[in-house]
């Protein structure tokens, strides 16, 4: 069996590899930038075989038994995405796109298999360290220097420095920082020593400072709600009343902050009409969904952004500005329904059976529903870094075996991933 240090390095190495290979054409870059972007096919050709080989060799595949309870929903999600592709005009390219979604989830499950072999707290630490000391410096560097093919959205980094982007544009950057903030807050709340509390408090502050700099208001709202839910079980009764009172003042404070911010941002970004703009985009997108509600539109070619085929409805439909609508445009309403049922089952399981205050990790559900609701290209599973990072963090935060250790399990949960002779380890199944 690999040492703890070794499989920790493997986990971090795969995260870094995914980041380096997954910030290209899926983010909607131009044809010139696409020529300079990494090859996503190469990522699957290299990472997937190595990942499966490592898991098989060191026995990590057994940890995927935690998904046995969700085998029907997960299989339906992947197979339906494949089957509906057969009903579109360009069946060959759509089938390739559907298989790409399945390959993406193989990578995602591979990450989970390795993460489940590491202590839950250690996994949280690794993700936070990756976000703050790998992802954030790289993104900051490309944002400030505008160097080479890493700057895939020069319009985000030149005219309007308030919006922070780089290897990923600001909305996806905000989502990664939001997860880093959530995990660092959990580590802060559960630390026993002052030294650890100070350390994770600093990491939490760093993540949030840069999160504000992204100017992604959906991320601000989603992470704010998530922080409250995450911290709530750890608060005194008096503090809970204070939080509830502050929440009543949140809406007017947000509206005031929005009006003040609108006066300071660059003229090419119209904050005042941003919500109306999204409403217009959603109207066009819904019109497109009504035309092909079962099959969706898929993608024009292998590994290309999911909603390009609907731009004939209106040029502004290039981005539906909603992950749910984007998934419906790609794979149809049936896939959307299965998606929410599947991820909802995981949330319910965590709420009912997670040990102690671990159920507060449900803050991830709030975050990953609220933020992508106002931004597209997250749920489609097409292989971008955020498309991988979303389910990886979700599965780790809600299904890690440590969350259910030493708790009596209901009869309908799956079998334990270790022999019954070891009763105090990985009782979740």
Digit-coded pLDDT (tens) for 392-401: 999 999 999 8
Q: Is the pLDDT of residue 33 over 50?
A: no
DSSP letter at 428?
-
Helix, strand, coil shares of the chain as percentages rounded to 5? 70, 0, 30
Rg (CA), the chain: 21
Average pLDDT in the 384-407 region? 85
Q: Among the listed ranges 49-53, 62-66, 290-294, which one has the minimum average pLDDT value?
A: 49-53
Q: Among the listed ranges 175-184, 229-238, 256-265, 347-356, which one has the minimum average pLDDT value?
A: 256-265
DSSP letter at 266?
-
Q: Is the pLDDT of residue 361 over 80?
A: yes
DSSP letter at 273?
T
Digit-coded pLDDT (tens) for 248-283: 666 566 656 555 554 444 444 344 456 677 777 788
Digit-coded pLDDT (tens) for 173-206: 899 999 999 999 999 999 989 999 999 999 999 9
pLDDT mean across residues, the chain: 74
Q: Is the pLDDT of residue 413 over 50?
A: no
Q: Which residue has the higher pLDDT, 264 or 319?
A: 319
Per-residue pLDDT band for 365 (boundaries 50, 70, 90) equals very high
DSSP letter at 362?
G
Q: What is the pTM of this model?
A: 0.81
Whole-number pLDDT of residue 37: 47
Q: Which residue has the higher pLDDT, 299 or 81?
A: 81
Q: Which residue has the higher pLDDT, 319 or 108?
A: 108
| Distance (Å) of CA 28 to CA 24, 274, 408 | 8, 20, 48
Q: Which residue has the higher pLDDT, 348 or 241?
A: 348
Per-residue pLDDT band for 306 (boundaries 50, 70, 90) equals very low
Residues 403, 426: Cα–Cα separation, whole Å: 9
Average pLDDT in the 135-139 region? 85
| Distance (Å) of CA 109 to CA 266, 285, 378 | 42, 31, 17
Place of tokens 């995450």: 230
Q: Is the pLDDT of residue 75 over 80?
A: yes
Whole-number pLDDT of residue 80: 87
Whole-number pLDDT of residue 303: 41
Whole-number pLDDT of residue 416: 38
Residues 190, 32: Cα–Cα separation, whole Å: 48
Q: Is the pLDDT of residue 87 over 60?
A: yes
Q: Which residue has the higher pLDDT, 156 or 281?
A: 281
Per-residue pLDDT band for 411 (boundaries 50, 70, 90) equals very low
Whole-number pLDDT of residue 10: 72
Total Cβ atoms within 10 A of residue 105: 17
Total residues belonging to the chain: 429
């Amino acid at each position: 069996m690999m040492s703890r240090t070794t499989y920790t390095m493997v986990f971090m190495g795969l995260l870094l590899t995914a980041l380096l290979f997954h910030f290209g054409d899926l983010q909607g870059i131009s044809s010139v930038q696409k020529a300079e972007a990494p090859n996503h096919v190469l990522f699957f050709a290299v990472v997937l075989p190595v990942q499966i080989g490592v898991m098989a060799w060191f026995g990590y595949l057994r940890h995927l038994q935690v998904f046995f309870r969700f085998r029907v929903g997960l299989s339906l999600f992947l197979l339906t995405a494949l089957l509906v592709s057969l009903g579109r005009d360009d069946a060959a390219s759509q089938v390739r796109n559907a298989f790409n979604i399945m390959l993406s989830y193989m990578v995602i499950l591979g990450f989970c298999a390795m993460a489940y072999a590491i202590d839950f707290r250690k996994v949280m630490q690794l993700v936070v360290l990756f976000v703050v000391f790998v992802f954030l410096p790289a993104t900051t560097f490309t944002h400030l220097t505008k160097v080479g093919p890493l700057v895939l959205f020069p319009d985000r980094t030149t005219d309007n420095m308030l919006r922070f982007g780089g290897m990923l544009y600001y909305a996806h950057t905000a989502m990664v920082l939001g997860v880093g903030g959530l995990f660092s807050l959990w580590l802060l709340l559960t630390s026993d020593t002052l030294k650890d509390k100070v350390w994770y408090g600093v990491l939490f502050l760093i993540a949030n400072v840069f999160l504000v700099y992204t100017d992604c208001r959906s991320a601000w709202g989603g992470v704010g709600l998530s922080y409250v839910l995450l911290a709530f079980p750890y608060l005194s009764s008096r503090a809970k009343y204070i939080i509830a009172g502050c929440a009543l003042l949140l809406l007017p404070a947000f509206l005031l902050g929005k009006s003040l911010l609108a006066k300071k941002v660059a003229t090419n970004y119209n904050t005042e009409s941003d919500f109306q703009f999204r409403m217009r985009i959603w109207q066009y997108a819904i019109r497109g969904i009504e035309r092909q509600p079962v099959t969706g539109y898929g993608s024009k070619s292998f590994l290309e952004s999911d909603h390009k085929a609907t731009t004939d409805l209106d040029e502004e439909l290039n981005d539906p500005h909603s992950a749910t609508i984007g998934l419906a445009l790609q794979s149809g309403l049936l896939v959307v329904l299965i998606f929410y049922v599947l991820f909802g089952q995981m949330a319910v399981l965590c709420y009912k059976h997670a040990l102690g205050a671990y159920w507060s990790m449900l803050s991830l559900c709030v975050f990953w529903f609220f933020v992508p609701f106002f931004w597209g290209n997250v749920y489609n599973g097409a292989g971008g870094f955020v498309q991988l990072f979303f389910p990886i963090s979700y599965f780790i935060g809600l299904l890690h075996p440590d969350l259910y250790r030493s708790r009596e399990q209901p009869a309908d949960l799956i079998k334990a991933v270790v022999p019954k002779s070891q009763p105090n380890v990985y009782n979740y199944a």
